[in-house]
Structure 1
Amino acid sequence: MSNWEAKTLGQFLALQRGYDLTADQRTDGNIPVMGAGGKNGTHGTSKASGPGVVIGRSGSSFGQVYLSELDFWPHNTSMYVTDYKGNDKYFTYYLLKNLDFNRLNSGSAQPSLNRNYIYPVKVKVPKSDEQKKISNVLRSLDKKIELNNRINAELEAMAKTLYDFWFVQFDFPDDSPQGQGKPYKTSGGKMVYNPILKREIPEGWEVAPLSSITRVSNESINPADYPEKLFKHFSIPVFDATNTFGVERGNTIGSNKFTVEDTDLLVSKLNPWFNRVVYAMAEPEQICSTEFVVWRCPNASIKNFMYMIATSPQFIAHCTQSATGTSNSHKRVNPNVMMRFDQPFNLKVAEKLGQHLEPILKQLIVNQRENTKLASLRDWLLPMLMNGQVTVK
C-alpha cells in the first residue's frame, strides 16, 4: 500500500445532482432512470454515459451506490459522477460502495447527501493500473452473479410458460387414447363451466382448495434447547429475494421455529412479502420463522407444482386481499384463509408437470445459492481490497 496516494474525494472525482423527471415527462424508450433506489423505470433520453456511478441522495436509499452499464438518466433523487479524473470507473464504484455515507448526512428529519460534505472525505487510492486489477476481481464476481440472474430469469420464464400452458390454458399433453399426447384444449378436449372459478376447466378436473393438495406443518422446536447445533435458519424479512438463509447456533435463536424438510415450501404470510417462497432442499437441521406457512408437500413433484401456485399473481393477490392487521406493514394472511385458495386440479397432470419442472427449479435454486456465496465473498473482499490489506498480482 506504500504506492497508494492520499486524496480527498473531491480530488478523485466530481459529482452532480441528477435531473428532474416527472412521470408525465417520461417518454418511451429503454434508457434506465437511475434514482436514489437504483433503476426506477425507463425513459427515451439519456443524460449520462455508461458505465456510470450513481449515489442515492435522499430518502430511505440515502448513500446507496449503483452502477449503470448503459447510458442513463440520473434522477434528481441521486447524484452521479460526472468526472472520474482519470480513475477506473469500476474501481470508483467499489470505492464509493465501501464508504459509510451515514456520517455525511446534511439533512435534518430527512436524510440528505450534499457533495460539499462528500468532497473533503479522505481516501487512499492506487494508480489506475492497480485500480483496474482490483476492480477486475470484484467485477468478475458481480458478472457471475449477473449471469446467474439472467439464467434464472430464463429458467423462471420456462417454468411459468409450462405452468401456464398446462394449468391456465389447459394445453397439457392429453395422454388419453383419443388425445395421443396432443395439447388438450387446442385439440378439442372437452371443457366444462365451473361456477366456483367462473370459467371452463377440463372435464373430469376438480376445483381444489390448497388444503386438499398439501398439508400445513406446525412442527416446531426451540433452537435454544440445542446450543451445540448449527441451524440453517430462514427468516422474514431478513432473507432476500435469492431465498438465502442464515446459519446460526441454537443458542443464538431464542424462540420456537418451525422445522423444515426437503419436500417443504415456506410461504410468507406477512405483508409485503407474500411473494417470498423458499424452496427447501435436502439439508440437515433446517428451521424457519413462524411468519412462514410451511407447506409439507406429499412428494417432490407436487412440491414443484405448488411452487408455481405460490409464486403466481393470482395466489399473491389472494393473500394480499385476505390479509388483516392494524397497518399495511404488519398485515398477515391467516394460514387457514391462505389454504382456501381454489385451484383447478388433476393429480396425474400436476405430478407430471412437477416432474418436468424438477430440473428447472433445482438449477434455479443452485444458482441462487451460488450467488449468495459469491456475494458474501465479494462483500468480504471489498473492504480489504479497498484498504490494501489484500493485493492483486
Structure 2
Amino acid sequence: MADGKIPVAGSNGIIGYHNKSTTKGIGVTIGRSGNLGNSFLWRDEFWAHNTTLYVKDFKGNNEIFVYYFLKTIDFKSFNVGSAVPTLNRNHVYPLEVSLPPLPEQTAIAAILSSLDDKIDLLHRQNATLEKMAETLFRKWFVEEAKEEWEEKALSDFVNVKYGKDHKSLADGTIPVYGSGGLMRYAEKALYEKESVLIPRKGTLNNIMYQNDPFWTVDTMFYTEMKKPNVAKFVYYFLKDQDLASMNVGSAVPSMTTEVLNNMPILTPPDYVFEKFENAVSPLFKKSKSDQTQIRTLTALRDTLLPKLMSGEVRVKM
C-alpha cells in the first residue's frame, strides 16, 4: 500500500488506505479468503484486496439491492479451503436466483438503506456523545488536576471480580460479554448494578461500561463500586490507561487483579465526582436510548431482509 485516502477493501472491511483504486463506487465486495462471504457496500472508489471478490458488472441491477441480496446467500457453504476458508467465484456462478424487476429492486434498496442510514447515524451520534464525556473527564481529572489531590489506588474505588462460564445458561435476553465484546444473550445475569468491565485475557484495552443486568465470562473482570458517583469516572480513567502495555501474559495478553488494584489514581474531593456524574449522566442516558433504537432498527432490518429478497413481502409500486 502507498499512502493515500482510498480505502482498501479486505474480507472483513477496511484494512488500510492506498493512493489509487481498482473500482469506482457504487461497489460491492464479498469475502473470498478468511471471512468468507461477508458483503460490503462501497459508495465511493476503493481498492479491492485479493482477499475479496468484487462486483465488476451489475448487469443492469440496482447496486444497493445487489449488496443486500448477496447478504442473504450462504457463501460459507461454498467453502473450498482447508486451513483458510476460501470462496471460488466459479463455484458461485451456477447458483440460480430469482430477482424482482428493477423498479422493485430500487424500492427495496431504499427501504433497507434508510434503516441502515438511521442505524449509522445513531452509531455516529453515540461516538460523539462518548467523545464529549471523555473530553470532560480529561479536562477535569487530567488537565486541571490539583497538586493537593490525594493519590489512591483503584482498589479504593472498586472490587474487581472474575466473570464465570456461561455455557450452561439457556438463551435469554441478558447480554453476555467477553473481552471481544458481546457474545450472546442468556437467561440470567451475573451482576445487575452499575459496573465497568475489564478484559482479563485478549484485547486488554476493550473497557466497557454497563448499567443494566449482564453476564461476563472468565476472560473478563467486572467491578463492584465501593463509592457512589464513581463508576463513570472509573470507566474513563481505565480507558485513558494503556492496559495493553501492562500485559503480563506471554502467548495471550493477560491482566491480573494485582496490576489493576495497585493502579494509582489522583483523587479529588467527593463533590468533584458528583459534579462529573451529573454532567455526563445525560450523555449516557441519550446514548442508552440510541442503543435501544439501534437494536430495534437492526432487528427490523434483519427481519425484513430475507422476506423482501424471497418475495414473501412485496413492495407496492
TM-score range, shorter chain: 0.7 to 0.9
Aligned to 2:159: 215
Of 247, 264, 277, the residue aligned with 1:342 is: 264
* 2:280 counterpart of 1:357: yes
Corresponding residue SS for 1:42: strand
Aligned to 1:235: 177
Corresponding residue SS for 1:259: coil
Of 46, 53, 60, the residue aligned with 1:79 is: 53
* 2:98 counterpart of 1:124: yes
Task: Tell me the alpha carbon deviations over residues 246-279 of structure 1, each in whole angstroms, 9 at most, x when there is no partner.
Answer: 2x335xxxxxx63221x22222322125414132
Post-superposition offset of 1:216: 3.4
* 2:193 counterpart of 1:268: no
In structure 2, the CA distance between the partners of 1:245 and 1:110, relative to structure 1 (3 Å rule), is closer
Percent sequence identity is: 33
Amino acid at match of 1:43: H
When structure 1 is superposed on structure 2, of 352-361 and 118-127 the one drifting more is 352-361
RMSD: 2.9
Corresponding residue SS for 1:49: coil
The whole-number CA distance in structure 1 between the counterparts of 2:111 and 2:134 is 35
* 2:23 counterpart of 1:96: no
Give structure 1 stretches of 5+ with no counterpart. Answer: 1-22, 171-200, 251-256
Amino acid at match of 1:249: E
Aligned to 2:28: 53
TM-score after normalising by structure 1: 0.72
Of 117, 121, 129, the residue aligned with 1:143 is: 117
In structure 2, the CA distance between the partners of 1:339 and 1:109, relative to structure 1 (3 Å rule), is same
* 2:39 counterpart of 1:65: yes
The whole-number CA distance in structure 2 between the counterparts of 1:222 and 1:119 is 41
Contact 2:163 2:220 in 1 (8 A): no
Q: Please list, as runs of the form range in 1=range in 2, the aligned pairs for 1:99-248 lying within 5 A after superposition.
A: 99-170=73-144, 202-216=146-160, 232-236=174-178, 239-240=181-182, 246=185, 248=186
Aligned to 1:41: 16
Of 218, 222, 232, the residue aligned with 1:304 is: 232
Aligned to 1:27: 3
Corresponding residue SS for 1:82: coil
Corresponding residue SS for 1:112: coil
Task: Tell me the alpha carbon deviations over residues 294-345 of structure 1, each in whole angstroms, 9 at most, x when there is no partner.
Answer: 2222566311111212322x2433xx523436x32xx432223222222222
The whole-number CA distance in structure 1 between the counterparts of 2:228 and 2:57 is 54
In structure 2, the CA distance between the partners of 1:309 and 1:76, relative to structure 1 (3 Å rule), is same
In structure 2, the CA distance between the partners of 1:152 and 1:121, relative to structure 1 (3 Å rule), is same
The whole-number CA distance in structure 2 between the counterparts of 1:219 and 1:110 is 32
Aligned to 1:4: none
Contact 1:236 1:289 in 2 (8 A): yes
Give structure 2 stretches of 5+ with no counterpart. Answer: none
The whole-number CA distance in structure 2 between the counterparts of 1:210 and 1:267 is 13
Post-superposition offset of 1:161: 1.4
Report the structure number with the largest CA radius of gyration. 1
TM-score after normalising by structure 2: 0.88
Contact 2:179 2:203 in 1 (8 A): no
Corresponding residue SS for 2:201: coil
Aligned to 1:187: none
